[in-house]
Amino acid sequence: MTQSKSSVPTKKSLPVWWSSELLPNRLLHKFMDQLDAGRRPYVKVTPKTVPELYDFQGQDVEFLWALLNDLDREYHMLTIKRARVNPQQEPYDNAQIYFLPDKEPLVREWLNRPALDPYALTWAHELKRQQHKFEDGGAALVGRHVRVKGMSAAQVVRAFAVLGQELQRPVTLRALSARCFAGDSKALESYELLVRALYPSLSQQLQARPVMLVVHLGQPLAHILFVENQDTFLALAQADLPGITLVYSAGFRGSATRVREPGQVVFSYLNPDADTAGFKRAWFDGEASSLRVSFWGDLDYAGMAILKALRQSFAQLEAWQPGYELLLARLHAGLGHTQASGVKNPQPDPGLTGCHYADTTLLPAVRQTQSYVDQEAASLCELQC
C-alpha cells in the first residue's frame, strides 16, 4: 500500500490511488472547510464523523484506513493519534486525526480549491448584516473589497453603511470620509462614484470641493502665467513683472475643468488691494480668452502633462518660452538629472500637448537627453537680464 520514500511522488502530483470518490477526498475537504472557518483542522473518528470506516457492507474499510495512514506516513499531511481499544473495537475507533497546516497549499491544489480570503469572507458576512442601510441594498459593494489601512473588513463595511446618516445634509467628500472612516479625510478620495452608486439619491448632498488658487495680480491685466512650484511663484511675485498676473497652480490643482465655473474655485490674493474684481471678470466671463495665458513648470514629462491638462480650461495656453529657454539651456549643457537616476518617480510621456513650442522643442529635447530640469534651477536674475 505505502510507497518507499525514494518513490514518493513529486509535490504537485496526486497519489496513484487518488479518487474523488474515496474517503481521503472528503476528509481533506472537511479540513479545508475548518481552515476557511478559522478553526483547527481536526476530526475524531466515530461512526458519525467518518461513517465510511463503519460501512462494513459497502466499503473496504481496511483499504480506506490504509489510505489515511498513507497520507500520514508518506505525505506527512496528517498526524493520527490512536486511542486505546479493546479486541472488540476497530483499530481506528476514537482515533484523533490532525491536518498539518503547512500542507494546505498542496492539498488545495489536489482538490482544485483555492484559499478563501478571510477579508472577503468577513466582508460578505458584514455586508449581509448592513445591506438594509444602503439605497442600493449594498449591491455596489458585492465582490468589491475596499481596503483601508488600519481598518478591518467589518469596520470598512460599517463605515460605508453610516455614510447615509452624514448625507442627510450638504457635505464635502473629504468631510464625509473623515467622519465615517476613523478620521481619515482621504479614505474616499478614489471612491466618489462608489458612494454615489450606494446612495444615488442622498449623494446629491455631496458638495464639490472648490479648487484653491493663489494669485499675484499684475498691472495691467494682460498676461496670466501659471507657475508650477512655490519657490518660483513667490520669487516672481516679489519681482512684480509688469503686466503678468501669476497663478500658483500647485501641480494639477489649476487643471480642473471646473476651474472656470463660479463657485468652483476660491482665490487667495497676495496683493488684495489690486483689481480683484477685474481679474474675476476676466477669469469667469470669458475675457480671459483675449488674454495671453502661459504655463511655466519643471522641464519634465509631468510638467508637460500639467500644461496639457491646463489647456482643457484655457485653450490658448502655451508654454512660457522665457522661463523654459533657461531650463532648456541647462538641459543641453548636461546639467539635468537623468530619468534613470531614480531622483523622480517614473513619469509617462504625455505625447502631444497641443502647444507648438512644447511639442516641437521641449518634449523632443527631454526625449533625446532622457533628462529633466526642475523649474527652481532657473535664477530670477537670468530671467530679468
Per residue in 204-243, pLDDT (tens digit) is 999 887 888 999 999 888 899 999 999 999 999 999 888 9
* Burial of 192 per CB tally in 10 Å (0-12, 13-18, 19+): middle
pTM: 0.59
pLDDT, the chain, mean:
89
Phi and psi at residue 212, to the nearest 5°: -105, 125
Q: Which of 33-37, 98-102, 190-194 has the lowest mean pLDDT?
A: 33-37
DSSP state of 373: B
Contacting residues for 273 by C-beta, under 8 A, at least 6 apart: none
pLDDT tens string 260-301: 888 888 899 999 888 898 899 888 876 666 789 999 999 999
Which residue from 290, 266, 286, 362 is spatially nearest to 323, judged by alpha carbons?
362
Per-residue cell: 365: 529635447
Nearest to 97 by CA among 52, 43, 50, 51: 43
Cα–Cα distances (Å) from 332 to 323, 341, 369, in that order, read 15, 17, 8
**Burial of residue 299, with CB atoms counted within 10 A of its CB: 0-12 exposed, 13-18 middle, 19 or more buried:** buried
Reply yes or no on whether the pLDDT at 312 is more than 50.
Answer: yes
Q: Are 177 and 186 in contact (CB under 8 A)?
A: yes
Q: What is the pLDDT of residues 363-377, one digit of tens each?
A: 999 999 999 999 999
Quick one: pLDDT at residue 189?
87
Peptide bond into 272 cis (omega under 30): no
User: How many Cβ atoms from other residues are within 10 Å of residue 43's Cβ?
Assistant: 17
Beta-bridge partner residues of 294:
225, 318
Spatial CA neighbour of 263 closest among 166, 170, 184: 170
**pLDDT at residue 289 in the model:** 66
In this model, does residue 338 exceed pLDDT 90? no
How far, in Å, CA of 24 to CA of 43, rounded?
12
* Alpha-carbon gap, residue 230 to 251, rounded angstroms: 10
Cβ-proximal residues to 113 (8 Å cutoff; 6+ apart), any chain: 29, 32
Structural domains in the chain, CATH included, are 5-111 (1.10.10), 118-207 (no CATH), 211-384 (3.40.1360.10)
* Phi, psi at 7, each rounded to 5°: -110, 15
CB 80 within 8 A of CB 67: no
